[in-house]
Amino acid sequence: MNRPFYWAIAAVVAVATLVFFVAVSLEPTAQKMLMREHGPIEALSAFGYLLCVAVMAKAGGSDYLKKYWYFAVVLVSFAAREMDFDKAFTEVGVLKSKFFFSPEVSVMGKLVSAVILGFILFALITIVRRHGKSFLVKVFSFRWDPVIWSVGFAGTFLVVSKSLDGLGRKLRGWGIADISPEVDKVASLVEESMELAVPYLFIIAVLAYLRSQRSA
């Protein structure tokens, strides 16, 4: 019963890997066009997050969406981040530490941003409180169903991709090393490829969870 979900997880990971190798093999101009800000990869990532919310609403119904509203909030925020909404309306990005201290941002802008970020943070905390323990219990008891596999891959990809984002700049800032532009570029390609897979892994998790609930 779960085999199609396992195949779907493998397919998403394989596509992300293929995207990376295709991007590496492209000429610099084509590579830059593929991976640029607001380019096709970022657009597909943002679309994937919104599609995941649509799948929740369609496959689970309004009751499911109301019950798990916090997942929808986080997914929409991820889509907004992919579309650079965090820096679309101000000179300083909302996620920058200096945002709330910048004189370039109005008091109203800071207030609205604080409310939105606070709501997203509340949604994240709700996810951890309601699902963190049960998720870890399944992981450490080796009950790895498709939901665990897909969320596990997605979470790993998120952590690794965020670690690789601006790797050269981070390492220089920490005084650890100064990597070559080529290595920094490869790290960026790995980051974008992993980020592409994340929303589609979440879609698999939603569908697998709904299937398990209906067959329980």
Please state, in angstroms and rounded to a whole number, the distance separating the CA atoms of residues 137 and 88: 40
Residue from 38, 24, 6, 55 nearest 199 by CA: 55
Signed CA dihedral, 104, 106, 111, 117: sign only? negative
Global pTM value: 0.88
What pLDDT sits at residue 133?
94
User: How do residues 187-197 score in pLDDT, each as one tens digit?
Assistant: 889 999 999 99
Task: Tell me if 168 sits within 8 A of 184, measured CB to CB.
Answer: yes
Does residue 170 carry a pLDDT above 80?
Answer: no
Question: In percent, how much of the chain has pLDDT > 90?
Answer: 53
Task: Give the domain range for residue 168.
Answer: 3-215
Does residue 174 carry a pLDDT above 90?
Answer: no
Which range among 33-42, 68-77, 123-132, 153-162 shows the weakest confidence by mean pLDDT? 33-42
Does residue 161 carry a pLDDT above 70?
Answer: yes
What pLDDT sits at residue 53?
96
- Treating both helix axes as pointing N-terminal to C-terminal, what angle do 3-25 and 181-215 enclose, rounded to 10 degrees? 170
Residue 91 pLDDT grade (very low, low, confident, very high; cuts 50, 70, 90): low
Task: Please give the single-letter amino acid code of residue 81.
Answer: R
In the block, residue with structure tokens 């820096």: 87
What pLDDT sits at residue 98?
67
Mean pLDDT of 57-61: 93
Please state, in angstroms and rounded to a whole number, the distance separating the CA atoms of residues 67 and 211: 17
